[in-house]
Amino acid sequence: MNRTSNAAFVSALVLYFVAAGGYFGFVAWRTRKWKVFATAVLSLGWALHLLSLITRTLAAEHAPWGNMYEFTASLAFVLITAYLFVGQAKFGLTALGGYVAAAAAILMSVGWVIYADPGELQPALRSNWLTFHVFLVMAGASLLLFGAILEVMYLVRRRWEARHPDFADEDTSDGGLVSRLPSADRLDQASYRMIMFAFPIWTLGVIAGAIWGEQAWGRYWGWDPKETMSFIVLMIFAAYLHARATQGWRGRGAAILAIVGGVAILVNFYAVNLWIAGLHSYAGT
Amino acid sequence: MTESNESEDFGAEPVPPRAMERMHGWRRLRSMRTAIQLLIAVAIVSLLGSVIPQRSAAPSKVAQFIEEHRFWGEVFDRLGLFQVFTSWWFLALAGFLLFVTGACLIPRTRAALSHARRIKQAPERGRLPDLRFTTEVESELSSDETVTEARRVLGRRRWRSSPVNGANQWIAERGHSRETGSVLFHWSFFLVALAAALTITTKFEGSAVVVEKTSWVEGGRVNFDEYSEGAFARWINPHAGFTVAVEDFDVAYGDDGMPKSYTSRVKILDDGREVLEDEVRVNKPVSYKGVKLYQLGYGWAPVVRVTDGSTVVYDGPLVLGMRGPNGSSAGVIKLPSTASGSVGLELSLFPDFKLVPFRATNPDDPRAREPGALDLISTGDFGERPLVVVTEYRGDLGLDKPQNVYELDKTGLEQVAQKFATFPANANEKLGTSTQLGGGLNVELIDLRRFTVFSVKRDSYGTPVAAAAAAVMMLSLYPALYAYRRRLWFEVVEGGTEGVVLRFGGVAYQRKDIFEEEFLRIETDLTDALRGAGSVAKKATR
């Protein structure tokens, strides 16, 4: 079971890199062939990724987020799922496929470096809240990250548009990669929707964590480093949501807030696990 | 938070940036930019609390930090940077954020309550063609029927409509739940603050160390190992006075030798009667009379009898609360007045002992030069091959100073002997169950038991209020983010091939991109209804 999982994981990882190449090919040559090829490869990778997570769950006998390898694998899975079914299918952001696939593949490569065999859960993690709380924060985090990545592209594109006042949406034949990105307006709209969708998920995840904390440690909030960082992420994205509706903050200011929030999420998941001890320290294995 | 002058939602007349700069005092305080700035400030201040070690989470790291950065350690300490979240400036910032939130919420709540009762009316006769979305639909029905049908179609889509005063015009509205949700969501912060205040002032918490086959009474701080309580705890969350008897304690190990789970089987006795029998595990606390017991940790507690000549000077389980080298744990017995003077005994338990060739970590260690030197280690924590090393110290125990019950203060002591012993079930010829020390002292091992550590808490009010706050927060967040307020105006005019035309226009105050689609769907529905196609289709399905 576990060997199937690992084989599927590595195949998915390779396919994501290939798909990323395909999407960049599409951006460069703009032919349907490239788009079909990249989408097909990414979808196949996604299916293998799903298979890998399912077999891992069966092998480990718990939801696939008991250690950092499993967590990273699931995080990348949510990212690709969000891109395929929302980013590309709903918003038509095909020009971003290369970046997202590459980001997921790099994330998974990091995951493969910190690979650990499926094992018994530590006593602290033996709870139904593991499935619920960790799933929510993972899904919320990867979607917020997706939103932050879109905001980076928004800033890049916005600058480009300011310098090219006579641009046409996605129809410039020169000007390199930036000219092929979706228009700033569409990027802005897509990232806003993504973050608006993810914010309640993250909030619910933090609340679920508080409930679990009450059950495991006897307090619903204790300013443990991981709790503090999650709180900071909430504050930053709350500021973002307010900024979206405020003169002078809309656009650039809001985008910067979302990007800072994205960085805070990465710090929370990796730096806090590896370098800052706390009650969540088992997550570092 | 006051959306009236700056949000995109009321973008018809945007406030020019220069006017924003002129905004002062109360209005400025209640502005959305103040909210953003405060949220960012709270995030930055909290970041300090996650980067700098905190007393509440890692007291030893704080001590180390002060040790290493003498001057800055002192400065940080003075500024409260080691306890950011209870420092006056953090509380002041949080309080100010709450104050500003309240200042915004009171007028918004008042407005939301009055809007809920009626649609605020504004005749739009002149403006109807100016709205961003306007369209006309020809009707096969009479004027009155057209209005009725249009209201019915909109009503099915949960639009509330009413005639505009003094005009042959109608107004319809949807999406008030956005404002209601937003107001409720922001009010829930006050519930969170109340929950935090209740928890901090009324909770008691402590840890209790209980050896297997013994019991512990939940009453008063003297029974706790570590203890803290809020200022009003003694009146609001008093001790319940019941007895917890630990029947036994079990550890299950995984294939890798790491503990998979550990369980304390407890009986709770109240007034001498047994009222509850249950298991306490990590993630599974036991609760009685509002007091909750959480499984925190565990360790070894050998039952020991020490005799001084014919007098028994110690008899009972000894909690080995200190971690020793090579997988051992240690505890001490302090005997200030034996017949032969003041004695300190240190007992180190190796639960699964093994002798291995000595490997020096320090080349100056004299044993490194000794050929064939051996070292004592424990290969696990199973207790299958237990060995106790008894070390005898004599001299001044230093009992006039505050003491750690698990440790000897060795400054005035001298080690005089080191002996080995094991337990009855494991005794062999070389290692008996008892060992003779100097001055007629005898240490006998009776039984090997475990102790369990419970975290004991009572917070009867803070936690439920926090749960209520979380529920309000989650229920109100979705409408606050996704619902959007929009309005339609419609009027019936003469014209078209049938003689009656329904003109209508709409505006969305938020999420304009979505409204565009909705407006098109409404147009389709109205066209179907007014041109008869819809009614024909409906009759057919009926």
| SS3 category, B268 | strand
State percent of chain B over pLDDT 70.
89
Residues whose CB is less than 8 angstroms from the CB of residue B187 and which lie 6 or more positions away in sequence, other chains included: B105, B109, B472
Q: Which helix (H) or strand (E) holds A90?
A: none
Show which of residues 182-201 on chain B sit within 8 Å of chain A, judged by CB atoms: 196, 199
Same-domain pairing of A256 and A145: yes
**Environment class of B367 (CB within 10 Å of its CB; exposed 0-12, middle 13-18, buried 19+):** exposed
More confident residue, B158 or A258: A258
Q: How confident is the model at residue B92 (pLDDT cuts 50, 70, 90)?
A: very high
The pLDDT, as a whole number, for residue B207 is: 92
Question: Please, how many CA atoms are within 13 Å of residue A3, restricted to the half-sphere of its CB?
Answer: 0
Same-domain pairing of B463 and B496: no
The pLDDT, as a whole number, for residue B284 is: 92
B189 domain residue, yes or no:
no
Position B345 pLDDT exceeds 90: yes
Q: What is the mean pLDDT of residues B85-97?
A: 92
Position B22 pLDDT exceeds 90: no
The pLDDT, as a whole number, for residue A175 is: 61
Judged by CB atoms closer than 8 Å, whether chains meet at B259 and A123 is answered as yes
Same-domain pairing of B243 and B259: yes
Neighbours of B280 (CB within 10 A): 22
A102 touches chain B (CB under 8 A): no
Which CATH number fits the domain that encloses residue B522? 3.30.310.80
Q: How confident is the model at residue B3 (pLDDT cuts 50, 70, 90)?
A: very low
B52 domain residue, yes or no:
no
Contacts of A232 in chain B (CB under 8 A): 43, 46-47, 50
Length of chain A: 285
Same-domain pairing of A75 and A198: no
A21 touches chain B (CB under 8 A): no
Same-domain pairing of B428 and B510: no
**Environment class of B405 (CB within 10 Å of its CB; exposed 0-12, middle 13-18, buried 19+):** exposed
Residues B255, B249, A283: CA angle, nearest 5 degrees = 50
pLDDT digits (tens, 9 = 90+) for B187-222: 999 999 999 999 999 999 999 999 999 999 998 888
Question: Along the 285 residues of chain A, how does pLDDT read in single tens digits?
Answer: 888 999 999 999 999 999 999 999 998 888 889 999 999 999 999 999 999 999 999 988 888 887 888 988 998 999 999 999 988 888 888 888 998 999 999 989 988 988 888 877 777 788 888 888 989 999 999 999 999 999 999 999 999 888 887 776 555 556 677 777 888 888 998 999 999 999 999 999 999 999 999 988 888 998 888 899 999 999 999 999 999 888 888 889 999 999 999 999 988 887 777 666 566 655 444
B316 domain residue, yes or no:
yes
Contacts of A246 in chain B (CB under 8 A): 6-7, 32-33, 36
pLDDT digits (tens, 9 = 90+) for B47-74: 988 888 888 777 888 888 888 888 888 8
Q: What is the token pair recorded at B56? A: 């509440």
Q: What is the token pair recorded at B25? A: 């005092």
Residues whose CB is less than 8 angstroms from the CB of residue B210 and which lie 6 or more positions away in sequence, other chains included: B216, B244, B246, B264, B451, B452, B453, B454
Judged by CB atoms closer than 8 Å, whether chains meet at B57 and A278 is answered as yes
Same-domain pairing of A103 and A150: no
Same-domain pairing of A44 and A32: yes
Residue B391 and residue B415 in contact, taking contact as beta carbons nearer than 8 Å: yes
Domain boundary among B412, B439, B473: B473
Same-domain pairing of A136 and A24: no
Domain boundary among A120, A143, A174: A120
B206 touches chain A (CB under 8 A): no
Q: B328-346: buried (b, 16+ CB within 10 Å) or exposed (e) per residue?
A: bbbbbbbbeebeeebbbbb
Closest Cα of chain B to A200: distance in Å? 7
A276 touches chain B (CB under 8 A): yes
pLDDT digits (tens, 9 = 90+) for B307-342: 988 899 999 999 998 888 888 999 999 998 888 888
Same-domain pairing of B336 and B227: no
Shortest CB distance from B261 goes to which of A123, A221, A247?
Answer: A123
Residue A181 and residue A95 in contact, taking contact as beta carbons nearer than 8 Å: yes
Same-domain pairing of A27 and A159: no
Judged by CB atoms closer than 8 Å, whether chains meet at B196 and A221 is answered as yes
The pLDDT, as a whole number, for residue B51 is: 83
Q: HEC profile for A131-160?
A: HHHHHHHHHHHHHHHHHHHHHHHHHHHHHH
- Return mean pLDDT, chain B: 84
Q: How far apart are CA B95 and CA B73, in angstroms?
A: 27
Domain boundary among A77, A102, A120: A120
Q: DSSP for B7-57, please give it.
A: SGGGTTSPPPHHHHHH--HHHHHTSHHHHHHHHHHHHHHHHHHHHS--TTT
More confident residue, A10 or B541: A10
Judged by CB atoms closer than 8 Å, whether chains meet at A245 and B7 is answered as yes
B481 touches chain A (CB under 8 A): yes
Same-domain pairing of A276 and A176: yes
Same-domain pairing of B253 and B381: no
Interface contacts (A, B; CB < 8 Å): 139
Residue B350 and residue B379 in contact, taking contact as beta carbons nearer than 8 Å: no
Question: Please, how many CA atoms are within 13 Å of residue B463, restricted to the half-sphere of its CB?
Answer: 20
Domains identified in chain A, total number: 2
Show which of residues 266-285 on chain B sit within 8 Å of chain A, judged by CB atoms: 281-285
For residue B281, give the nearest of A215, A208, A280 by alpha carbon: A215
Domain boundary among A100, A120, A140: A120
pLDDT digits (tens, 9 = 90+) for B445-490: 999 999 999 999 999 999 999 999 999 999 999 999 999 988 888 8
B104 domain residue, yes or no:
no
State percent of chain B over pLDDT 90.
38
Same-domain pairing of A284 and A144: yes
Q: How confident is the model at residue B119 (pLDDT cuts 50, 70, 90)?
A: low
Structural domain range at position A164: 122-285
A90 touches chain B (CB under 8 A): no
- CA dihedral in degrees (B371, B374, B375, B379; nearest 10)? 130
Same-domain pairing of B443 and B320: yes
Name the residue of chain A whose CA is nearest to B510's CA: A245
Q: How far apart are CA A178 and CA A95, in angstroms?
A: 10
A221 touches chain B (CB under 8 A): yes
Position B134 pLDDT exceeds 70: yes
Judged by CB atoms closer than 8 Å, whether chains meet at A249 and B262 is answered as no
Name the residue of chain A whose CA is nearest to B38's CA: A239
Q: What is the mean pLDDT of residues B491-503?
A: 81
Position B39 pLDDT exceeds 80: yes
Residues whose CB is less than 8 angstroms from the CB of residue B41 and which lie 6 or more positions away in sequence, other chains included: B93
What are the CA-CA distances from residue B529 to residues B157, B223, B233, B502 (Å)?
A: 14, 78, 67, 12
B384 domain residue, yes or no:
yes
The pLDDT, as a whole number, for residue B260 is: 84
Closest Cα of chain B to A220: distance in Å? 7
The pLDDT, as a whole number, for residue B122 is: 57
Position B303 pLDDT exceeds 90: yes
B3 domain residue, yes or no:
no
The pLDDT, as a whole number, for residue B539 is: 38
Contacts of B466 in chain A (CB under 8 A): 210, 220-221
B346 domain residue, yes or no:
yes
The pLDDT, as a whole number, for residue B111 is: 83
Q: How far apart are CA B355 and CA B260, in angstroms?
A: 27
Q: A145-174: buried (b, 16+ CB within 10 Å) or exposed (e) per residue?
A: bbbbbbbbbbbebbebbeeeeebeebeeee
Judged by CB atoms closer than 8 Å, whether chains meet at B6 and A246 is answered as yes
The pLDDT, as a whole number, for residue B9 is: 37
Q: How far apart are CA B384 and CA B523, in angstroms?
A: 81
Contacts of A247 in chain B (CB under 8 A): 6, 14-15, 17, 20
Same-domain pairing of B231 and B260: yes
Same-domain pairing of A105 and A218: no
* Global ipTM: 0.86
Judged by CB atoms closer than 8 Å, whether chains meet at B455 and A218 is answered as yes
Judged by CB atoms closer than 8 Å, whether chains meet at A228 and B261 is answered as no
The B273-281 sheet, strands edge to edge: B215-217, B243-253, B259-270, B273-281
Q: HEC profile for B286-316?
A: EEECCEEEEEEEEEEEEEEEEEECCEEEEEE
Same-domain pairing of A106 and A96: yes
B525 domain residue, yes or no:
yes
- CA dihedral in degrees (B189, B193, B195, B200; nearest 10)? 160
Residues whose CB is less than 8 angstroms from the CB of residue B259 and which lie 6 or more positions away in sequence, other chains included: A123, B251, B252, B253, B381
Domains identified in chain B, total number: 3
| SS3 category, B227 | strand
Judged by CB atoms closer than 8 Å, whether chains meet at A241 and B481 is answered as yes
For residue B518, give the nearest of B506, B528, B530 by alpha carbon: B506
Same-domain pairing of B225 and B243: yes
Same-domain pairing of A83 and A159: no
Judged by CB atoms closer than 8 Å, whether chains meet at A278 and B58 is answered as yes
**Residue ranges in B160-251 assigned as alpha helix (H):** 177-202, 233-236
Same-domain pairing of A104 and A212: no
Same-domain pairing of B232 and B373: no
What are the CA-CA distances from residue B56 to residues A59, B49, B95 (Å)?
A: 38, 11, 21
Residue B43 and residue B97 in contact, taking contact as beta carbons nearer than 8 Å: no
Structural domain range at position B154: 124-175+484-542
For residue B319, give the nearest of B442, B211, B180 by alpha carbon: B211
Give Cα B122 distance to the centre of its chain: 48
Same-domain pairing of B362 and B415: yes
Q: How far apart are CA A52 and CA A112, in angstroms?
A: 13
Q: How confident is the model at residue B2 (pLDDT cuts 50, 70, 90)?
A: very low
Q: What is the token pair recorded at B301? A: 């507690």
Neighbours of B400 (CB within 10 A): 7
Residues A283, B193, B198: CA angle, nearest 5 degrees = 90
Same-domain pairing of B165 and B203: no
Residue with tokens 């051992």: B328
Judged by CB atoms closer than 8 Å, whether chains meet at A245 and B8 is answered as yes
Q: How confident is the model at residue B118 (pLDDT cuts 50, 70, 90)?
A: low
Closest Cα of chain B to A125: distance in Å? 8
Same-domain pairing of B226 and B369: no
Contacts of B42 in chain A (CB under 8 A): 235
Show which of residues 286-305 on chain B sit within 8 Å of chain A, judged by CB atoms: 292, 294
Contacts of A279 in chain B (CB under 8 A): 57
